[in-house]
Amino acid sequence: MEQETPKMIYRTLGNTGLKVSVLSFGTWLTAHDEKEEQNIIDCVKRAYELGVNFFDTAEAYGYGVAEKILGKAIKELNVDREDLVISTKTRECGSGVNDKLLSRKHIIEGVKNSLERLQLDYVDILLCHRPDSQTTLVETCRAMDWVVEEGYAFYWATSEWSPSEIAEAYEICEREGLNKPIADQCQYNALYRENLEKNLRHSFEKYKYGTTVWSPLAMGLLTGKYNTGDFPKDARLYSEDGDHKFLRFYFGADGSRRDQTIENLKKFCKIAEEQGCSAAQLALAWTLVNKDVSTCIFGASKVSQLEDNMGALEVASKWTEELENKIEEALGNEPAPETDYNTFAPKRPRRKVALDLDM
């Protein structure tokens, strides 16, 4: 008997009424090459069939190639535009001196070019793809407000902005009566936790900020494929000198956490085996049971890979405090607690506050 597909979960994105699927499809790593076009289109179609309504891309992904492929996929879906939530990001697309960063010129020209590639009249969310220290935040906020007011996007958001940058943007928008940002697209997974669980706590508590998290599988580390510590030439984390820039997130800037991380990954995969699921499913479930995660973006180049990832919904539906504690013990990387200076006692960890044990 064919197993019933778990029902998709939808959450509001930040302090808005916008509903997004907790698992969403992104084109960061899988849509840079037009040779992959049909595979991506097939994945988008299957993701939609399984309840995914949120699809993410960026002008920087293949310098527009990913947007073009997603645009073709949306056309082939042939569904009402209202049934989809589409986001793209602006910051760099080209070699010209004004083809990058977050000036008014690039934001407005960039979103128009993105819409042309996507074959859409608007996107639901336009994100600032990383901060920009060369442009005043006032200029960026005013330009993003213009994009929203003109109907090129319904909302604007940030990506990997610090809590202080988010707070400053909020203050500017409040003072000038501008549309405020609604969410941050930040990295979050079982190996990289500090930013979402600790740094962004103020943004969640004060602004009800949303998140569209990326790399929930830690560039593939959490799938168990690299538990030997070796990365073949076709692996995303391969580099000739063995020091791929993304490995620094997980192994430390100097590689000092490499051996311990590999051992922890083996423990994590053992827990997945005991749960009767894949390591990828467990990793995705670990991420999405945190209610501070509005949606969890994953990529796939094969429908079979996408379908396996969707099994995370079933794993999440059976999440228990016992399983949570077991993984916590195996990884041993919970961020150090902050101090509540009213009581001089440690604050309850944010993940514990936001854990959803009633999926």
In a domain, 203, yes or no: no
In a domain, 253, yes or no: yes
225 and 181, same structural domain?
Answer: no
The DSSP symbol for 253 reads T
Q: pLDDT tens across 22-50, in order?
A: 999 999 987 777 778 999 999 999 999 99
What is the number of structural domains in the chain?
Answer: 2
Query: What is the DSSP secondary-structure string of 252-288?
Result: -TTSTTHHHHHHHHHHHHHHHHHHTS-HHHHHHHHHH
pTM of the model: 0.94
Are 144 and 181 contacting, i.e. CB atoms less than 8 angstroms apart? yes
- List the domain range (segments joined by +) for residue 16: 9-185
141 and 51, same structural domain?
Answer: yes
Predicted pLDDT of residue 357? 77
- CATH classification of the domain holding 39: 3.20.20.100
In a domain, 75, yes or no: yes
Pairwise CA distance, residues 216 & 204, whole Å? 19
For the chain (359 residues), the mean pLDDT of every run of 10, in chain order, is: 69 98 93 83 97 97 95 96 98 89 97 98 98 97 98 98 98 98 98 97 97 96 89 70 79 88 95 97 98 96 95 96 97 93 94 84
159 and 17, same structural domain?
Answer: yes
In whole angstroms, what separates CA 359 from the centre of its chain?
20
**Strand pairing partners for 340?**
345
Say what angle helices 37-49 and 303-310 make with each other, to 10 degrees.
Answer: 30
Phi, psi of 340 (to 5 degrees): -85, 105
311 and 241, same structural domain?
Answer: yes
263 and 222, same structural domain?
Answer: yes
Are 203 and 163 contacting, i.e. CB atoms less than 8 angstroms apart? yes
What is the SS3 assignment for 139?
helix
Amino acid identity for residue 124 in this structure? D
Pairwise CA distance, residues 122 & 84, whole Å? 11
Q: Catalytic site residue 61? A: yes
What is the SS3 assignment for 254?
coil
Are 187 and 212 contacting, i.e. CB atoms less than 8 angstroms apart? no
228 and 172, same structural domain?
Answer: no
Which of 61, 170, 207, 226 is an active site residue?
A: 61
Say what angle helices 258-275 and 321-331 make with each other, to 10 degrees.
Answer: 160
| Residues 6 or more apart in contact with residue 303 via CB below 8 angstroms | 42, 43, 46
